[in-house]
Structure 1
Amino acid sequence: MEKSPVKKIQSIFFSLFSGLDRQLGLILLGLAAVGFFTFLSASQNTPVQITDELRNLALSFVVMWLVSRIPPKWLEMGAVWIYSLGVALLVAVAVFGLIKKGARRWLNIGVVIQPSEIMKIAMPLMLAWYFQKREGLKKSWDYAVAVIILIIPVFLIARQPDLGTALLVFAAGLYVIILAGLPWKWILPFVAIGVIGILLIIIFGGTICAHDVVWPFVHDYQKHRICTLLDPSSDPLGKGFHTIQSMIAIGSGGFFGKGWFQGTQAHLEFIPEKHTDFVFAVFSEEFGLLGNLILLALFYALIKRGLAISASAPNLFTRLLGASVTLIFFTYAFVNIGMVSGLLPVVGVPLPFISYGGTALVTLGFGAGILMSIHRHRRLVQS
């Protein structure tokens, strides 16, 4: 008996989404819905921006679906080529890239692209491939080689300068190196140095900032961000404006928030970059602490599900790749919420699936697609 049109449509629909992880898909849809409704308020119903955001979200999910159909073995085979292409494009940016707002981050190849975004995916791919090849043979120098693989693109991105993206790429690679079995005796000294450095900045940073001391190896804008973090009121109408206004918005939301479209800080234009980097301040003002707890629960569920998919992956490459991609989602959320709340310096990191954006959403969609691919092909990959 021939199927009815409705059943044919249902059959096509289920075949398109067969094998995808439903839990992960629902979590991502939840985050995208929260992001879109927050964006409606932040953009004040600007039709062009709303259309752009819908297009970006749709493109992100299409990329996720396409990547989910790619077997992890193909990703492993293409890892070196993708990494090499990313580094080559970063070198091209350094030589003849486009300069906007004092930064050389873009390349015109018929269309304008930002090659550093490629490295957010290329870095964990490359290092997961490297440690897969060295499985069972790892020695100390293998980790040194991995660090070199990591440092080259991070250096090229940091000198553009683009501290936010450099941080994310560094974190993506570092997660792979640590998960691959980096000995604790190598990790602890760097943790100790980091803790001591943070304490010194907290104790003496205010004095150094007040006397305008030159900081070695640090750009002026990076120094200003750290000084502003320590004391936003030192430049309330300049470098500290972002932090002060976002903290006011978060605090004024209370427990239940002011209500959708009722945020005064956002609608009176006090929050800068309110639909991109500082969208969390808009969300906090309108939905309050209760909304924040729900949002954090969604991110927790995303990270938990991603790690569960990674843990059940059949070989070292997919386990390292999946865990690194998942922890990148964590890093995005942690850094963005931290900087908007005044706990971390402002570094221009978007909130995953919440902030408006094109390239970042596509990158996040690619990462989600990798997790979907690992889940979908987990029985087909031989360990």
Structure 2
Amino acid sequence: MHPDQQRTSLLQRVHMDAPLLFALLITAVVSIFTVYSASGENLGMTERQAIRVGAAFFAMFVIAQIPLDTVQRWSLPLFAVGIVLLLAVLLVGESSKGAQRWLNLGFITIQPSEIMKLAVPMAVAWYIAEQGLPPTLKRLAGAFLLLLIPVLMIAKQPDLGTSLLIASSGIFVLFLAGMSWKIITFFAVAIGSFTPILWIFLMRDYQRQRVLTFLNPERDPLGAGYQIIQSKIAIGSGGVEGKGWLQGTQSQLEFLPERHTDFIFSVFSEEFGLVGVIGLFLLYGFIIFRGMIIAMRAQRVYQKLLAGSLTMTFFIYVMVNVGMVSGLLPVVGVPLPLISYGGTSMVTLLAGFGLLMAIATNRRLIHA
């Protein structure tokens, strides 16, 4: 047997999709080098990022080994556990920077909203797949209610960015299930009508300030608008070829706040320019394309809906972060997926890719 075929067979036996794994590994390398630069050449922070990347890949590998029947069977129980944890956060959660998002279990502190990034699309896909496609109007209403409960609980923390991302993961399941455009239009109008209520009664002052800053960051260039102004300067100053790794002035001279987390794309753009950004987008595009191929080739309805939702939600993550740091969207605190410094988001994302790996390498001949 040819060596390449042997390697491919080995990866399939451990439920790894070779093209997707290769792209994710490249992204991880980019993350470590970019974090080193964005942190001001902080070796300790870079080592912690490398350890977290390793832990995230280990989590992906472990989850990829779980039989898909087991994943489907445990979708609703995992969702129920997530709801209980979200309720506990609202009652006894730890507060930080004006938000109550963390739950101290004694031996570990967790952020239950991260669990819901997987539990919500899993539960909605399970609920829709139980009856088959296309879903009835009653089934869609039930799925929407299933989605609405955690979204409102997370928005209450408040964590509007995460709540919107989780909402999109569930909506993608409904869209891929064949929800009609009439229903989509109805929900769009309903959400639009809800916007004034959201603005007046549900949004905090700092959240309204973010929207106003997005509309006109120059109104307070040394205050609320400082971060986005510096971010756009960093992106624009990179030019075509960039200033070179470790040579970005906005990041190295510490003009750019949150440069190793939410605004790491600005650092990358300044150092690697338009050429580097195009390369990063091509890498992200390949990951998304591969995810959609996996979704189309999946053997069961549940697997198709879950794979498609996870892939499209990853796309939304990328677009929201890039739009946010470029001044095209309000700042909502969403990290650049697989690149930004941090462990929780990295583990959650690669756990989702672990599910994609399991779906991609499932060879049982079962009809949806």
- TM-score interval, normalised by the smaller of the two chains: over 0.9
* Structure 1 position 283 matched with structure 2 position 279: no
How many residue pairs are counted as aligned between the two chains? 360
The aligned counterpart of 1:57 is: 53
Residues 209-240 of structure 1, C-alpha deviations (whole Å, 9 max, x = no match): xxxxx834322111101100011011112211
The aligned counterpart of 2:346 is: 361
- SS of the equivalent of 2:74 reads helix
The aligned counterpart of 2:167 is: 170
The aligned counterpart of 1:3 is: none
- Aligned with residue 379 of structure 1, among 347, 364, 368: 364
The aligned counterpart of 1:38 is: 34
* Structure 1 position 156 matched with structure 2 position 141: no
* Structure 1 position 78 matched with structure 2 position 74: yes
Residues 350-376 of structure 1, C-alpha deviations (whole Å, 9 max, x = no match): 111110111000001101101100011
* Structure 1 position 341 matched with structure 2 position 338: no
- Does structure 1 conserve the Cα–Cα contact (< 8 Å) formed by 2:238 and 2:269? yes
> What amino acid does structure 2 have at the position aligned with 1:76?
Q
* Structure 1 position 311 matched with structure 2 position 314: no
C-alpha distance in 2 between matches for 1:146 and 1:131: 7
The aligned counterpart of 1:94 is: 90
C-alpha distance in 1 between matches for 2:229 and 2:44: 29
Change (3 A) 1:172 1:266: same
- Does structure 2 conserve the Cα–Cα contact (< 8 Å) formed by 1:73 and 1:381? no
The aligned counterpart of 1:185 is: 182
The aligned counterpart of 1:144 is: 141
C-alpha distance in 2 between matches for 1:193 and 1:281: 35
* Structure 1 position 243 matched with structure 2 position 239: no
- Does structure 1 conserve the Cα–Cα contact (< 8 Å) formed by 2:135 and 2:178? no
> What amino acid does structure 2 have at the position aligned with 1:38?
T
- SS of the equivalent of 1:105 reads strand
- SS of the equivalent of 1:272 reads coil
RMSD of the alignment, in Å? Answer: 2.2
> What amino acid does structure 2 have at the position aligned with 1:106?
W
- SS of the equivalent of 1:35 reads helix
C-alpha distance in 1 between matches for 2:223 and 2:11: 54
- Does structure 2 conserve the Cα–Cα contact (< 8 Å) formed by 1:157 and 1:166? yes
> What amino acid does structure 2 have at the position aligned with 1:20?
M
C-alpha distance in 2 between matches for 1:175 and 1:379: 26
Q: Which of 306-315 and 185-194 deviates more?
A: 185-194
Residues 47-96 of structure 1, C-alpha deviations (whole Å, 9 max, x = no match): 22111101110011111111111121110010011000000000000111
> What amino acid does structure 2 have at the position aligned with 1:304?
F
- Aligned with residue 23 of structure 1, among 6, 19, 24: 19
C-alpha distance in 2 between matches for 1:288 and 1:136: 46
> What amino acid does structure 1 have at the position aligned with 2:170?
G
The aligned counterpart of 1:256 is: 241
- Aligned with residue 230 of structure 1, among 200, 211, 215: 215
Change (3 A) 1:15 1:194: closer
The aligned counterpart of 1:127 is: 124
Which ranges in structure 1 are unaligned for 5 or more consecutive residues? 1-6, 201-213
* Structure 1 position 48 matched with structure 2 position 44: yes
Give the TM-score, by structure 1 length: 0.89
- Does structure 2 conserve the Cα–Cα contact (< 8 Å) formed by 1:215 and 1:223? no
- SS of the equivalent of 2:341 reads coil
Identity over aligned pairs, percent: 46
Give the TM-score, by structure 2 length: 0.93
Tell me the CA shift for residue 165 of structure 1: 0.9
Report the structure number with the largest CA radius of gyration.
Answer: 1
- Does structure 2 conserve the Cα–Cα contact (< 8 Å) formed by 1:313 and 1:378? no
Tell me the CA shift for residue 382 of structure 1: 4.8
Tell me the CA shift for residue 18 of structure 1: 4.1
Tell me the CA shift for residue 194 of structure 1: 6.7
